[in-house]
Amino acid sequence: MPDLPPDHPGFFAAYAIAAGSNEPIRLPAKSGSLDFGIQGYLKPDAFLIGLAEGTRAVRRRMLDDMRERYGHARVSDLQQKHVEADLNRFSGHAWNNHLKTWRGLGKWLAQKYNIDDPAKGVKKAPVAQSDGHIPWSNEEIEAFRKHWPIETPERLALEILFWTGARISDAVRLGQGNVDRDGWLVFRQQKTGGEVAIPFARALPEFADGMEPDLALLHSALDARKDKHVTWITTAHGKSRSVKAAGQWLAAKTRAAGINGRSAHGLRKSRARALVCLTSAPMGPNSGIC
């Protein structure tokens, strides 16, 4: 058995395993403990406000890890040095992502328990500057189109993502139900909550003049579907793809077309660049990047 107090979560977990239990077992959280505090923070009135579903899932895993490691500690003893000691396990983006979780928790604990926010003075880790996801070039978009015929789900996914410029988390939820009576494709962004309206079955606004060929290709891909479902990007069985699965699936299909290092988000950046080019330079063929 570990050399820990009998009421320590680590001791209790080891005891459960020694007794033959394969199920994760947790002691009831003591009032005033960090475990108890995190449980309170995880309630919808505190934790869920302002966070997208994907963000909540990631932070919940981080908070569960905190409960396992430090749940027995008292909230009143929590200080900045303890937060920094936990973050020292990481560097760069990992440090900063865990810091965001600590900041959300620390602010709530400070208000709930009338303590100093233990994460308030912790600084972000330096990270190398990066352009992030690389936009697709005209040639790469055309190579994908040439490899995947208009009737394939791969081609449909590309046309949806390229025309809408939507995040893949939003694209997988799109379908005919998002088209309003005026011909706009309307949806609320999962990440920001902002509403988006994109021309779909109507004349393009002046700022998108010249992009008609891309919209026509999207309609051709939709018309070429063998099966029609509530959402447009689906599995072979007609089920909507999950965000993570859709990203991995498209990345694999992109590599199969001989295109490496490009992502769904890169198509979003390509559409954004194309829109900027309309106001700054003549457009090239196929509404590509200027």
What tens digit of pLDDT does each residue of 96-130 get? 999 999 999 999 999 999 999 999 999 999 876 65
Mean pLDDT in the chain? 86
| pLDDT tops 70 at residue 12 | no
Residues 181 and 96 in one domain: no
The pLDDT of 232-239, averaged and rounded, is 87
Residues 184 and 85 in one domain: no
Residues 94 and 149 in one domain: no
What tens digit of pLDDT does each residue of 158-200 get? 999 999 999 999 999 999 999 999 999 999 988 878 899 999 9
Whether residue 163 is contained in a domain is answered as yes
Residues 91 and 232 in one domain: no
The pLDDT of 54-66, averaged and rounded, is 87
Residues 278 and 198 in one domain: yes
Residues 165 and 70 in one domain: no
| pLDDT tops 70 at residue 287 | no
pLDDT band at 49 (very low <50, low <70, confident <90, very high): confident
Range of the domain at 231: 138-287
Looking at residue 277, its pLDDT comes to 76
| pLDDT tops 80 at residue 241 | yes
Tokens of 68: 């396992």
Residues 95 and 231 in one domain: no
Looking at residue 26, its pLDDT comes to 58
Looking at residue 120, its pLDDT comes to 94
Residues 146 and 58 in one domain: no
Looking at residue 221, its pLDDT comes to 96
| pLDDT tops 70 at residue 251 | yes
Residues 176 and 263 in one domain: yes
Give the residues across from 186 on adjacent strands: 197
Looking at residue 226, its pLDDT comes to 87
The pLDDT of 242-253, averaged and rounded, is 90
Whether residue 168 is contained in a domain is answered as yes
Looking at residue 202, its pLDDT comes to 93
Tally of domains in the chain: 2
| pLDDT tops 60 at residue 21 | yes
Residues 155 and 276 in one domain: yes
Residues 56 and 183 in one domain: no
pLDDT band at 268 (very low <50, low <70, confident <90, very high): very high
Whether residue 16 is contained in a domain is answered as no
